[in-house]
Amino acid sequence: MAATVAYCVCYLRCSFSRIDLSDLAAKLAQADANGEQVLAIVATAGTTDAGAIDPLVEITAMAAERNIWLHVDAAWGGALLLSEKYLHYLDGLELADSVTLDFHKQFFQTISCGAFLLKDARHYELMRYQAAYLNSGFDEEQGVPNLVSKSLQTTRRFDALKLWMGLEALGKKTVCRNH
């Protein structure tokens, strides 16, 4: 295979605003034919305009077969994780390499409160920024949590606190009434 290149898969969306699987397959085959390595597929669980959820199970399988990174933007639809009735719409999400969730959307938190999650925690190492004045050797040796190695931001607000408090105060059932 030729030198690995970053490749952007532009896929059609079918009439339900979901990724058109046959078009995605054709784009991947074309990349293969061109000797290009596809860097990532980005699917959406809850598009901004239509709320559409891409066929995650099928896309996950296509990505796994070719060893392509799969990211799912679940900023909008990720709150279905709390829903017993609609949770199945997110089937396949658990297999994604990375996921974004916005708690300031359907989790009803104040702006901003979002998360970038990785299936394999070792991949956080890729975004680690090592600076002597930020990463204390003592903290690292002692295992003191330091989010500077898990975030692109340096100064971090304690966003998780409001999410935790909201869920504790309302309970899953109350939050789910809206989903």
Q: Which stretch binds ligand PLP (CB under 6 A): 16-24, 73-81, 82-90, 131-139?
A: 73-81
Verify binding: residue 48, ligand PLP, rule CB under 6 A: yes
C-alpha to C-alpha distance for 144 and 167, rounded to whole angstroms: 26
Q: Is 87 exposed, middle or buried (0-12, 13-18, 19+ CB in 10 A)?
A: middle
At its nearest, how many Å lie between ligand PLP and the CB of residue 97?
17
Verify binding: residue 56, ligand PLP, rule CB under 6 A: no
**Touching ligand PLP, residues 6-45 (CB under 6 A):** 44
Strands (E), 107-177: 114-118
Verify binding: residue 102, ligand PLP, rule CB under 6 A: yes
Q: Which of 41, 34, 94, 30 is nearest to 67 (CA)?
A: 41
Verify binding: residue 81, ligand PLP, rule CB under 6 A: no
- Contact call for residues 175 and 119 (beta carbons, < 8 A): no
Q: Given the rule CB under 6 A, which residues bind ligand PLP?
A: 44, 46-48, 73, 75-76, 102, 114
